Amino acid sequence: MAKSGEYEIPKQVVLLDATAQLKALMSIIRGKTTQRGDFIFYSDRVIRLLVEEALNHLPFVEKEVTTPTGAKYNGLGFKGHICGVSIMRAGEAMEQGLRDCCRSVRIGKILIQRDEETAQPTLYYAKLPPDIAERYVLLLDPMLATGGSANKAIEVLLDHGVPEERILFVNLICAPEGIDTVLGAHPKIKIVTAEIDSGLDERKWIIPGLGDFGCRYFGTEEK
């Protein structure tokens, strides 16, 4: 297993290479004083990197094409169809990054809210492609904190016939607690993330984190 600090990264987790470019992008979006325009722009860049990496972990088949010169080229093609499913509302910020990489991709939505008293996630809405059971699913949510909402969303996908091993959970920042919770319940999925943080505080916020991603991206933060 690879390590992030003292945390042993499970084999099901794909962590982007900690390049200088990625660290610079993450430094911008984590910054408290970063303006919303910059937050959106640089978050979108990281999301694009994540989607590109997630696509690398889908199955491919050999494919031969003829080039304009008349020669043959032995390449690859996607095996099966994909779709995206965003966990509303923050996950919707990742939809355009998927569309930029996959033309006319179908995208479903799941709305889950956590009860403030019990801290338990409740499903309020789900709208998914009718043939989702036949597709590979990129589940989109920027932050993986406790893992409760992610597990609820995964259960919705499983209830709609999606095999666990066809689910890739794509996000920007993970807490180790969230990773362990999700993989403890669903060991066959794969998690693709940009960075793994040190953990959760008493409010269940990711530390060091970046605050509320959805509020910062969509401009609904309290000033």
pLDDT tens-digit readout, 71-130: 999 999 888 899 999 999 899 999 999 999 988 899 999 999 876 666 678 888 999 999
Q: What is the mean pLDDT of residues 206-211?
A: 95
Q: What is the mean pLDDT of residues 176-195?
A: 97
Closest listed residue to residue 137, CA positions, set 198, 87, 195: 87
Q: How far apart are CA 196 and CA 208, in angstroms?
A: 10
Q: Select the CATH number that applies to the domain covering 9-218 from these four: 3.30.460.10, 1.10.1060.10, 3.20.20.70, 3.40.50.2020.
A: 3.40.50.2020
CA distances from 46 to 25, 28, 51, 125, 207 (A): 7, 11, 9, 28, 19
Decide: 179 and 156 in contact? Cβ < 8 Å.
no
* Whole-prediction pTM: 0.91
